[in-house]
Each structure stands twice: as structure tokens, then as C-alpha cells.
């Protein structure tokens, strides 16, 4: 009888030959040694093939044990090293500076610090700080993300490599920033530039009280409980403090992140920042304008140009050279107030605007209630919402294209509910504190800026994860193509946007969405930093 | 985990129990990832496909009726996911194409087949490496057969091919594998 072909034998060995043909072949094997050897060899081949293939999963499912051993170990060691280095720098600094006093109001582990922090946080949220921050994040975070994702795509050309790379970048930046700034640097319980003293460098000062009585020819970066400028600062003043008082002269601008800022002296340019209270004393003179978000604003002095404020309450009794634009709660202009151009106010209730008869307003008065129906009546509102939605969709699309796995995982992590919410609240409150604490160490300044940028980006992304999650829950698409994801995202974002405008509930929902999304993102970043099959 | 435990886990997962789904992930993520890695040949794509499989599982597990062992069912789902991914990559074009005839490779004998002789661990690594370098038209059916342990009919159904075609592709895949291993050993 003629021998069978090798292919037929192979099909037989696979157990896939038709029953009658297999029967014949078995009969043939009993008599043909050549075919028997062939079938044995094919069986051995199959066994080896199966065994070889099966070995891989164990190897790849525990990459930490085998294949990716070196990369993750080095990666984690590098991160740990960086964190340790940073931690030791911070602790040495804090120890050396005897700074606990200065930073007490920031330290959540002391009763005083905790109450102060809680007060600040609650004040911040009740005064719409969260909304402002997310609005801000919508612009800056979006921009940053486009740069990050676009740049990442261009630079790497590969997917899923970004986290390691940005981490690497962070470490490199940290390393390079170590010897960076050449400036005068002072610390201690009381840091003073004496009245007869002149500094030609930029001054970095950290202490319980930072007082400039002499002259600083550069900028001043100050961290402390109290920052006072009685002398002259030729550059800018950047202040992170509980209270900042300027009774001397700052020829540049003030960038202020304090609880209170009092300007009693001369300021060459502008005031920018976030604070609980801002007061420009009647002796105070601002050479340019004011752009701040604050709880209370008291403008009693002279401002040469425009004033733009987001404030719970604003009292103006001084001079404003150009426009006054105010968004917030109460606005009072006293008899002595003078506005050189238009007055624009968006307030909750018209009755909260008091303009004394003696007040002078050179331009138009445009005072409107910030009622919700006004939102919906304005075409600009829809344009803004459409623009926001389009940019969010664009970011979502980029994320789906570049990191489909990460996108899916983040979206899924939203479903973890309380875990995401809890982490989100922690991250939302913790990161700003961390940013400030990191910024206190000079070497940490670039790191603090990067951290803040990432924080804003994460705030922006929060709505995207939650939107995508919501869309998927509602649509239950059968596929997981990009189209499905994007449709889900669109539906989810639309719903979130609409729900966000429901009075009272909307604010709560927005806050919840930010926390959920932030938590999911943070969790997923954490998962990504750990070696495991993406889940 | 014995069979009854697995059944209970699957039952709970079908009732959308998050912990049960997590347990299934813990048990089978490695195997699913292995299949995806073979079929898609890049780590990132395989990770993406793996997470897609487990994402979809939340809903699709409801369709599992116990008629075949669960791991086999899951691997079939994963196989489909990978084939979808390959199709998307090819923009809808046929994933499995006819490959030109391979120059005659001698039939194996028990002593001489380079594949049959790959017994040591490092030699198996070479086998895996050679599989990874096979053209997708050979690699996919081969992996579905010997990793997912699907029958020719099941593979034909997944790949939308004739059964005979599947048999030929698997046969040629093995020939090509032998050729690659032989070249290496020379």
C-alpha cells in the first residue's frame, strides 16, 4: 500500500483526520515503519511546540520575575533614589532652616496646621475656588496636555512609553537643577535684609519672618509665615506666606500666594495671585493693574490701570485708572471711588452691588446678575461649551490613539467608585500642599512647576475618564474600537456638562467628577509604575 | 483552584461581582496575555488587547454557558480580540493571506527534526523566537492550534477560512518553523 503524505500524517497527529481515513492510516502504520517513524516525529514536534508555547505565559505574566527584570528594577530604584534624595533635601532644609514654625500653617500633621488647612480648603471651596481652578485647568491643562501628548507622539513614535520617559525627564531636570540658580539664599527663624544693606542678587528667603528693610536689586522669592517688604525690591516679589505686607517699594510685580496681602507702599507693576484677602491701603500705589482671585478685596489706594478680580466681596474707595472688572459676590464703591473707564460686574444678586452717589465711573456701567438662565441665553455660552467639548474630544481622541490601553484602564478605574473618589480627594488636596512644600526647597522649584502642570493636566483629564466611563456604562457598546470609545466619551461628556449646570447639585457633581477622575488617573499611574500586565 | 471554586467564581462574575472578575483576571491574565503576545507580536499591543479582553469580559461573561472549559472559552474570546486587532491594523483587509509555496523541506525523522530535538529550555526559547518571526498567516493559526488548543474547525470559524486552508497553513507553518530552526542551527 502506498504511504500517506506528510500533511495527511500531520492532520492525523492533530486528531483532525476524518474517522474512516484515520482508521485506514492506523492500519497502514501497523505495517509501515517509515510512516510510523514520521508520525512519531510529528507527535514529538507537536509536544515540543505545545510545551514551548506554554512556557511563555508564566514568563510574561510575571515580568517582574523574568523578562523585564532589569528595566523595572532600575526604573524603581531610580524613582526611589530620586524620592529619597528629594526627601532628604527637604528634611535637611527644613531641619537646617528650623522651618517648622514657618511652615506650621501648612503642616497637616499638627493641630494648628490642620485647622488652618481645613479652614483654607473649606473657604477655598465655598468661595468657588474649585470651579475657578477647574476653569483654569481647562485652559492651561488642555494646552499642556496637547503639548505633552503631541510632543510625546513626535518624540517617541511609540505607544505606552511616555510614563517612563517623563519620569526620566523629571529626574534629569531635578539633577540638572541642583547647581542651577546662582543667588543669595537666606534662611532662619528671622530672615532680614537690614536697612543699610544692599543685595545685588535675587534673594531666596525662607523663615518664620522674612523682612526686607534694605534694598534687593534682584527678585525676592520668599516663603514664610510673614513676609514684609519695608525697603526696596527692584525686581519682582514672589511670596508664599500666611501674610505678606508691602509697605516699601517693589518695582516689579507681586506674585502672591498668601492668605493675605497688604500693599501699603509703592508697586511698579501689577499684582497677580490667589489669596484670601487683598488690601491696597490708601497709601498704596500700583503702577500697573491687578489680576487676582481673592475672598475679599479692599482697594483704597491708587491703581494706574485695570483691575480684574474674582472675589467674594470687593470694596473700592480708591482710584482705578482704567476698567474695573469684577466677578463674584458683593461689590461696593464708596463716595471716594473713581473708575477711569468701564465698570463691569457679574454678581449673584444685583442688590449686592452698592455704588455710592459720589463715586465716579468714567465709562459704561455694565452690572449683571450671574444667574443661570443668563448662561443659557447667551450664544457665547454655547460657543464656549462647544469649544470645550471639541477640545476635550480632541484630547480624548489623542489619548485613545496614543494610549488605548491606558485610556481603557483609566476609564475602568473610575468604576472602582469609592477607591477612586478617596484617592481623588487626597490628590486634589494633597498635591497643592506638596507643590508648595517642594517649592520651598530651591532645587524643587522646577519640580514644583512640573508637578503643578501635571496636576492641572490631571484635573482636565478627570472629566474625560469619567465621561468615557459614563458613556460606556450607558451605551454598553459591543465593540471597543476607537469609534466606540469616542462615542461613549461624547455621550458621557454631554451628560456631565448638562448635569453640571443643575443648581447646587451640579457643583457637587462637578466636584465628584474631578475627584473620581483624578483618583482613577492617579491609581492608574501608580499601576503603570508597577510591573504588571495592564488590566 | 478546583473546578467547583472556579464555577462559583464564574457564577459570581456573571452577576457582575467585581471581586470575582478580579479573581478571574488574576488567574488568567497571564495566559490571555501570552496568546495576545504571540498573535500580535508587540508587548504594547498585547497589553492593550489583554486589557480589552478583560474589560469586555464584564459583559461577555454572561454569554458563557459552561459547554466548554472556561479557559478555552476565554482564550477563544481573546483570540477573537487579537484577530480584530490584526484586522484593524490591516484596515479591514484579509489578515490571513496565501503565502507562496515553501521550498521542499524534508519530512522530519525522530532524530533529525530540529523542532523535535528542542528539548532544553534555551532551545525552546529558540522555538518561541522562531514562532514570533513567522509571518502572521502562519503564526496565528499555529498559535490558535497549539496554544489555545482550538480545533481546525474552530480556527476556521475564527479566521473566516475553509477548514482545508487551516490545515495547510498549520502544516506550512511547521515546515517554515523547521526551516528557520535549521538555519539557526547551521
pLDDT tens string A323-363: 899 988 889 999 999 888 889 998 888 888 999 888 888 88
Partnered with residue A298 across adjacent β-strands are A279, A315
Q: Please report which confidence band the pLDDT of residue A434 belongs to, taking 50, 70 and 90 as the band edges.
A: confident
Tell me if chain A has a CB within 8 Å of the CB of B62.
Answer: no
Confidence of residue A477 (pLDDT cuts 50, 70, 90): low
Residues of B within 8 A of A44 (CB-CB) are: 110, 113, 116
Q: Which residue has the higher pLDDT, A370 or A282?
A: A282
Lowest mean pLDDT among A177-181, A293-297, A298-302, B145-149: A177-181
Residues of B in contact with A479 (CB under 8 A): 84
Beta bridge partners of residue A192, listed in sequence order: A211
Nearest CA of chain B to the CA of A142: how many Å? 25
pLDDT higher than threshold 90 for residue A284: yes
Helices (H), chain B: 3-14, 18-40, 43-60, 70-89, 121-132, 136-146, 152-159, 163-185
- Under DSSP, the state recorded for A409 is H
Average pLDDT over residues A95-109: 45
Task: Calculate mean pLDDT across residues A303-323.
Answer: 89
Closest by Cβ to B109, choosing from A14, A37, A46? A37
Residues of chain A with Cβ-Cβ distance to B131 below 8 Å are: 52-53
Residue A157 above 70 pLDDT?
no
Q: pLDDT, tens digit, for every residue of A515-535?
A: 888 888 888 887 776 654 433
A101 versus B52: the higher-pLDDT residue is B52
Contacts of B34 in chain A (CB under 8 A): 53, 56-57, 60-61
Provide the pLDDT for residue A148. 60
What per-residue confidence (pLDDT) applies to A254?
92
**C-alpha closest to that of A86 among A185, A162, A173, A187:** A173
Q: Which three cell numbers stand for residue B162?
A: 475553509
Partners of residue A3 in chain B, C-beta under 8 Å: none
A271 to A257, A287, A319, B94, B143: CA distances (angstroms): 11, 10, 15, 64, 67
Output the CA–CA distances (angstroms, integers) from residue A107 to A91, A114, A274, in the order listed: 13, 7, 19
The span from the CA of A123 to the CA of A296, in Å, is 12
- What digits encode the pLDDT tens for the residues A1-44? 678 888 888 899 899 998 999 999 999 988 988 888 888 888 88
Grade residue A250 by pLDDT with cuts at 50, 70 and 90. Answer: very high
Cβ neighbourhood burial of B165 (10 Å; 0-12, 13-18, 19+): middle
Comparison of pLDDT for A420 and A141, the residue scoring more: A420
The pLDDT score that the predictor gives to residue A263 is 94
Q: Supply the DSSP string of A460-506, one letter for each residue.
A: HHHHHHHHHHHHHHHH--S--SHHHHHHHHHHHHHHHHHHTTSTTHH
Instruction: Of A93-107, A203-217, A272-286, B65-79, give the lowest mean pLDDT range.
Output: A93-107
3-state DSSP call for residue A377? Answer: helix
- Which of A470, A501, A503 lies closest to A488, judged by CA? A470
- How distant, in Å, are the alpha carbons of A274, A322, A338, A343 from that of A357? 31, 19, 11, 15
A89 pLDDT more than 80: no
What percentage of chain A has pLDDT greater than the value 70? 69
Averaged pLDDT score across all residues of chain A? 75
A61 with B30: Cβ contact below 8 A: yes
Q: What ranges make up the beta strands (E) of A218-280? A: 220-229, 232-233, 237-246, 249-250, 254-256, 260-263, 266-267, 271-280
Query: To the nearest whole angstrom, how far is the Cα of A495 from the nearest Cα of chain B?
Result: 23
Count A/B contacts: CB-CB distance under 8 Å: 132
Ranked by mean pLDDT, the top range of A100-114, A439-453, A466-480, B129-143 is: B129-143
Question: End-to-end CA distance of chain B, in Å?
Answer: 45
Distance in angstroms (rounded) separating the CA atoms of residues A349 and A53: 72
Q: Which three cell numbers stand for residue A353?
A: 452691588
- The Cα A102–Cα A120 span in angstroms is 17
User: In chain A, pLDDT over 90 holds for what percent of residues?
Assistant: 14
Contact A475, A206 (CB under 8 A): no
What's the pLDDT band for A169 if we cut at 50, 70, 90? low
Residue from A60, A163, A479 whose CB has the most chain B CBs within 10 Å, to mutate = A60
Q: Which residue has the higher pLDDT, A531 or A405?
A: A405
Sign of the torsion angle spanned by Cα atoms A458, A460, A466, A471: negative
Residues A114 and A106: their CA atoms lie apart, in Å, by 8
A66 pLDDT above the threshold of 80:
no
* Contact yes or no for A49 and B115 at CB 8 A: yes
**For residue A227, which of A196, A258, A250 has the smallest C-alpha distance?**
A258
The answer to whether residue A448 scores a pLDDT higher than 80 is no
Question: Are the C-beta atoms of A244 and A211 separated by less than 8 Å?
Answer: no
Lowest mean pLDDT among A138-152, A258-272, B150-164: A138-152
From the CA of B7, how many Å to the nearest CA of chain A? Answer: 22
Query: How do A324-333 and A353-355 pair as beta strands?
Result: parallel
Give mean pLDDT, residues A290-308.
90
pLDDT at A62: 34
Residue A401 is predicted with a pLDDT of 77
Residue A4, SS3?
coil
Q: Which residues of chain B are modeled with pLDDT < 70?
A: 1, 91-122, 185-186
Q: What is the DSSP letter of A106?
A: G
Mean pLDDT of A56-75: 39
Q: Which residues of A touch B113 (CB under 8 A)?
A: 41, 44-45
pLDDT tens, A180-231? 344 677 777 788 888 888 888 778 887 788 899 999 988 888 887 889 999 9
Amino acid at each position: 500500500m502506498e504511504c500517506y503524505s506528510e500533511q495527511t500524517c500531520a492532520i492525523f497527529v492533530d486528531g483532525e483526520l476524518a474517522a474512516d481515513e484515520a482508521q485506514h492510516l492506523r492500519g497502514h502504520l501497523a505495517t509501515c515503519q517509515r510512516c510510523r517513524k514520521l508520525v512519531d516525529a510529528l507527535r514529538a514536534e507537536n509536544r515540543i511546540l505545545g510545551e514551548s508555547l506554554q512556557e511563555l505565559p508564566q514568563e510574561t505574566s510575571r515580568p517582574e520575575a523574568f523578562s523585564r527584570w532589569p528595566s523595572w528594577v532600575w526604573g524603581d530604584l531610580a524613582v526611589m533614589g530620586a524620592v529619597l534624595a528629594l526627601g532628604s533635601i527637604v528634611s535637611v532644609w527644613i531641619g537646617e532652616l528650623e522651618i517648622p514654625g514657618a511652615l506650621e500653617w501648612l503642616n497637616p500633621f499638627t493641630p494648628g496646621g490642620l485647622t488652618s488647612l481645613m479652614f483654607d480648603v473649606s473657604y477655598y471651596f465655598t468661595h468657588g475656588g474649585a470651579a475657578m481652578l477647574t476653569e483654569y485647568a481647562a485652559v492651561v491643562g488642555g494646552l499642556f496636555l496637547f503639548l505633552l501628548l503631541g510632543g510625546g507622539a513626535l518624540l517617541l513614535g511609540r505607544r505606552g512609553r511616555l510614563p517612563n520617559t517623563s519620569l526620566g525627564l523629571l529626574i534629569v531636570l531635578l539633577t540638572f537643577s541642583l547647581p542651577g540658580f546662582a543667588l543669595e539664599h537666606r534662611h532662619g527663624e528671622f530672615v532680614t535684609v537690614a536697612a543699610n544693606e544692599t543685595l545685588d542678587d535675587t534673594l531666596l528667603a525662607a523663615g518664620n519672618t522674612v523682612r526686607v528693610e534694605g534694598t534687593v536689586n534682584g527678585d525676592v522669592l520668599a516663603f514664610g509665615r510673614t513676609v514684609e517688604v519695608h525697603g526696596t525690591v527692584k525686581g519682582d516679589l514672589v511670596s508664599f506666606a500666611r501674610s505678606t505686607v508691602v509697605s516699601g517699594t517693589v518695582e516689579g510685580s507681586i506674585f502672591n500666594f498668601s492668605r493675605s496681602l497688604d500693599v501699603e507702599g509703592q508697586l511698579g507693576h501689577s499684582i497677580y495671585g490667589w489669596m484670601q484677602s487683598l488690601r491696597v491701603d490708601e497709601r498704596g500705589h500700583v503702577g500697573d493693574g491687578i489680576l487676582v482671585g481673592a475672598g475679599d478685596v479692599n482697594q483704597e489706594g491708587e491703581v494706574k490701570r485695570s483691575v480684574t478680580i474674582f472675589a467674594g466681596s470687593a470694596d473700592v474707595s480708591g482710584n482705578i485708572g482704567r476698567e474695573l472688572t469684577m466677578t463674584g459676590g458683593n461689590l461696593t464703591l464708596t463716595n471716594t471711588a473713581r473708575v477711569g473707564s468701564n465698570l463691569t460686574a457679574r454678581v449673584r444678586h444685583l442688590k449686592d452691588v452698592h455704588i455710592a452717589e459720589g463715586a465716579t465711573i468714567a465709562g459704561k456701567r455694565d452690572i449683571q446678575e450671574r444667574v443661570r438662565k443668563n448662561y443659557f441665553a447667551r450664544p457665547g455660552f454655547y460657543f464656549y461649551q462647544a469649544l470645550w467639548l471639541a477640545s476635550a474630544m480632541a484630547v480624548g481622541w489623542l489619548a485613545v490613539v496614543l494610549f488605548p490601553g491606558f485610556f481603557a484602564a483609566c476609564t475602568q478605574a473610575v468604576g472602582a467608585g469609592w477607591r477612586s473618589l478617596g484617592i481623588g480627594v487626597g490628590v486634589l488636596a494633597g498635591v497643592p500642599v506638596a507643590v508648595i512644600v517642594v517649592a520651598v526647597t530651591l532645587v524643587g522649584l522646577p519640580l514644583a512647576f512640573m508637578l503643578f502642570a501635571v496636576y492641572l493636566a490631571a484635573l482636565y483629564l478627570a472629566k474625560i475618564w469619567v465621561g468615557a466611563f459614563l458613556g460606556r456604562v450607558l451605551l454598553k457598546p459591543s465593540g471597543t474600537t476607537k469609534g466606540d470609545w469616542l462615542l461613549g466619551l461624547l455621550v458621557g461628556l454631554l451628560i456631565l456638562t448638562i448635569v453640571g449646570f443643575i443648581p447646587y447639585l451640579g457643583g457637587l457633581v462637578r466636584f465628584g467628577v474631578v475627584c473620581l477622575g483624578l483618583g482613577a488617573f492617579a491609581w492608574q499611574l501608580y499601576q503603570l509604575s508597577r510591573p504588571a500586565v495592564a488590566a | 483552584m478546583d473546578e467547583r471554586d472556579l464555577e462559583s467564581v464564574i457564577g459570581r462574575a456573571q452577576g457582575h461581582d467585581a471581586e470575582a472578575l478580579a479573581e478571574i483576571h488574576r488567574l488568567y491574565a497571564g495566559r490571555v496575555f501570552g496568546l495576545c503576545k504571540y498573535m500580535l507580536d508587540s508587548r504594547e499591543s498585547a497589553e492593550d488587547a489583554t486589557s480589552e479582553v478583560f474589560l469586555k469580559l464584564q459583559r461577555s461573561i454572561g454569554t458563557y454557558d459552561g459547554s466548554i472549559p472556561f479557559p478555552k472559552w476565554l482564550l477563544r474570546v481573546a483570540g477573537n480580540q487579537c484577530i480584530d486587532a490584526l484586522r484593524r491594523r490591516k484596515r479591514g483587509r484579509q489578515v490571513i493571506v496565501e503565502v507562496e509555496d515553501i521550498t521542499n523541506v524534508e519530512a522530519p525523522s525522530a532524530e533529525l527534526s530540529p523542532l523535535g530535538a528542542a528539548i532544553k529550555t534555551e532551545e525552546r526559547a529558540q522555538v518561541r523566537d522562531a514562532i514570533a518571526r513567522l509571518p502572521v498567516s502562519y503564526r496565528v493559526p499555529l498559535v490558535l492550534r497549539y496554544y489555545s488548543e482550538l480545533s481546525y474547525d474552530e480556527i476556521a470559524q475564527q479566521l473566516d477560512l475553509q477548514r482545508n486552508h487551516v490545515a495547510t497553513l498549520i502544516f506550512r507553518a511547521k515546515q517554515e518553523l523547521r526551516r528557520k530552526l535549521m538555519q539557526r542551527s547551521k
